[in-house]
Structure 1
């Protein structure tokens, strides 16, 4: 089983901020289950996230209610390849005030360290993940939904991931930082 760290991506509020069109953000129309959604996306996010994953040995994955639709409607528009998807829409309830996606993320990570970019996480999510037996080290990056993902968020993730032990990618053994 891989111990590569994960970088988990939300769409709405993170890659699709709630703001007006700018030079970096472009409007796109996405069709999901017959409904049309207007989203704002920054084409620079894909290469920056790909570089983050490559440089830190991490694996990108979707943690969004868009689920598999993110691979069809979001990823190609910002230059991301098809990514693994965490199914989060099956159980919208909470147990201790955590976001409904948090339990699904805790099950998915299976002991792997992870960074989670989301705009809707808080103390209950942190506590739930900290107490969950299948969760190792993690960093929750709180993204302001008005501005979306910024270089500051990416730097925060890069620095945190750089502080983790190098994953065993080639079978030669893990090195210390």
Structure 2
């Protein structure tokens, strides 16, 4: 089974803190609302490299949903990616964030790495207990700084050491 690399946008690719000079500022309009996003164009090639080197498939796991393919992917040099369909916030059972149930439905039994600024122990617990999933790595990305080389290296190491990248 090909592993997945799930990507959030806000807080991960679009940090909430003061962006460093390697980020570019963009204005976009989604469903009539104007947004300012700061994106690092190096993230796209580095994510593609991670996917190619490990045999993983990149997937959006963001409230931007399909808008990430319209506004984020082209500015990072990414192709159109599959999207985890998010429904309404159904609350939580044990403190997990609302996206966690939708991510679990999307991944099925496939191994995955999930980059998000809102994943915590409660999300890990939910996935292990309620979905029976064990082959995943949640990478908490501090929202103020966003995705770093260390986060990418951690994902690469996990995918490689666990053997999910073999045979691709």
Give the TM-score range, shorter chain: over 0.9
Count of residue pairs the alignment pairs up: 167
Is the 1:110–1:134 contact (alpha carbons within 8 Å) kept by the matching residues of 2?
Answer: no
Once the 2 structures are TM-superposed, how far is the Cα of residue 30 of structure 1 from its aligned partner?
1.4
What CA distance in whole angstroms lies between the structure 2 residues aligned with 1:92 and 1:72? 27
Once the 2 structures are TM-superposed, how far is the Cα of residue 23 of structure 1 from its aligned partner?
1.7
Once the 2 structures are TM-superposed, how far is the Cα of residue 162 of structure 1 from its aligned partner?
0.2
Any gaps of 5 or more consecutive residues in structure 2? Answer: none
Q: Are residues 1:135 and 2:133 paired?
A: yes
- Secondary structure in structure 2 of the residue aligned to 1:153: helix
What CA distance in whole angstroms lies between the structure 1 residues aligned with 2:167 and 2:132? 20
- 2:116 aligned residue: 118
Once the 2 structures are TM-superposed, how far is the Cα of residue 36 of structure 1 from its aligned partner?
0.7
Any gaps of 5 or more consecutive residues in structure 1? Answer: 170-177
What CA distance in whole angstroms lies between the structure 2 residues aligned with 1:35 and 1:92? 24
- Structure 1 residues 6-155: aligned runs within 5 Å: 6-133=4-131, 135-155=133-153
Q: CA RMSD in A?
A: 1.3
Larger Rg belongs to? 1
Query: What TM-score do you get using the length of structure 1 for normalisation?
Result: 0.90
Query: What TM-score do you get using the length of structure 2 for normalisation?
Result: 0.94
